A = this chain, B = another copy of it.
Amino acid sequence: MKHSEYKKMRYAYGFEEIALVPGDITINPDQTDISLVIDRLSFPIPILASAMDGVVDVKFAIAMGKLGGLAVLNLEGLQTRYADPDKVLAEIADATPEKVTQSLQRVYSEPIKENLIGDRIKAIKDAGVVCAVSLTPANTKRLSPLAAEAGIDILVVQSTVTTARHVSKSYRGLIFSELVKQLPVPVIVGNCVSYSACRNLMETGIHGVLVGVGPGAACTTREVIGVGIPQATATMDCAAARDEYFRATGRYVPIITDGGFRNGGDLCKAFACGADAVMLGSVFAQTEEAPGRGNHWGMATPHEALPRGTRIRVEVKGSLEQTLFGPTSVTDGTQNLVGALRTSMGVCGARNIREMHQTEVVIAPSIKTEGKIFQLMQGLAR
């Protein structure tokens, strides 16, 4: 019998399949440094909020900035399609699960109003915090000058998968090397998941990379088009690209792991896998400050022909400050994310994020989930 290996396949790991090994020395959490640098901007905490309409509006962006993190406002979402998005947000929150995708498709068919772009940006800047906004590659040439003029500090160019080179008949592809020269602010691009795609993006001169395709709670990309890489491996591969690019050029381009976090444990694991920062959606959708009223959805959900995401109902669990800094009586790891990160770094003996990248990681599927399902089942069966 003859066997031919048609293609080599590597195993890709998710956060739920790995665990961190404590270090040989331990460090008091208050001695850890968790700051993040993107180009010339510095942030006390390495946590971003996703450019999702259920998570970030002007008010949330200001609150996040004041607490030391960074929220990204989506310039192609409800905030720039509606002068008063409140009614639309309420409608989405109230829609039944059966009708919600149709509702989303309808409300997102309203055109973007260019004047609202400036208004939203100015409202954030007026509060004295760093302002980051996102655009899709197809609209970046047209809308980024408006955003720059309105005073943004960071531009995020984001779609499900963004590569350094895009083949299209209908429009000349966006050239990132040109964009970074034209814009006066740092540019973060994503999403990508592989070593080579990440490295190619870094070589265009951009200032940060978003890592993650398909892992988010509100995302069904993998079900719809088969594409999607578990985040632990995606982060490691892109971290390798960053480190080798740094060794080759001396330029350090931070990578931001985007999506797929269920709790503080996952967040800590991302840093051990090589992330410089993390971007969270569903966890922030649970805060009182989020505009989604306990709901969130991805930006591929309202696609008119092939929606790739769902609205997820989450409960509103506490304030943004509590979520980031505690104190808390919640024991499932969804509050006091900063305390969790500092504690984890202390246990792993890491003084800063770069040292946290050195933490030993093991493969250890979470068998506890199975046990919990079994317990719940037994309870039901009684």
Contacts and interface: CB of A to CB of B under 8 A. Distances in A.
Given A22-B194, A226-B265, 6 more contacts: A2-B195, A20-B227, A220-B331, A305-B328, A308-B331, A376-B378
Nearest to A191: B22
B166 A25 contact: yes
Interface of A: 1-7, 9-28, 30-31, 101-102, 105, 160-170, 192-197, 200, 213-214, 220, 222-230, 233, 236-237, 239-241, 243-244, 262-269, 272-274, 301, 304-310, 326-333, 336, 339-341, 343-344, 347-349, 351, 360-364, 366-374, 376-381
B264 A224 contact: yes
A301 to B, nearest CB: 7
A315 to B, nearest CB: 12
A123 B35 CA distance: 51
Given A165-B25, A339-B306, A377-B373, A226 B20 contact: yes
Given A26-B163, A228-B364, A379 B376 contact: no
A197 B22 contact: yes
B18 A9 contact: yes
A265 B329 contact: no
Contact of A196 (B1, B6, B241): B1
B6 A240 contact: yes
A227 B343 CA distance: 10
Nearest to A16: B367
Contacts of A362: 9-12, 229, 233
25 contacts: A1-B360, A6-B236, A6-B237, A6-B273, A10-B362, A19-B214, A19-B228, A22-B161, A22-B193, A22-B213, A23-B163, A101-B330, A102-B329, A160-B347, A220-B331, A224-B340, A225-B340, A226-B264, A226-B268, A226-B344, A227-B268, A229-B362, A306-B327, A306-B343, A369-B371
Contacts of A4: 195, 237, 240-241, 244
The 3 lowest CB-CB distance pairs between A and B, nearest first, are A226-B268, A225-B344, A6-B236
A349 B163 contact: yes
A167 B24 CA distance: 11
For A192, A194, A267, the residue with the greatest tally of chain B CB atoms inside 10 Å of its CB is A194
A381 B380 CA distance: 6
Given A9-B13, A25-B163, A306 B101 contact: no
A306 B336 contact: yes
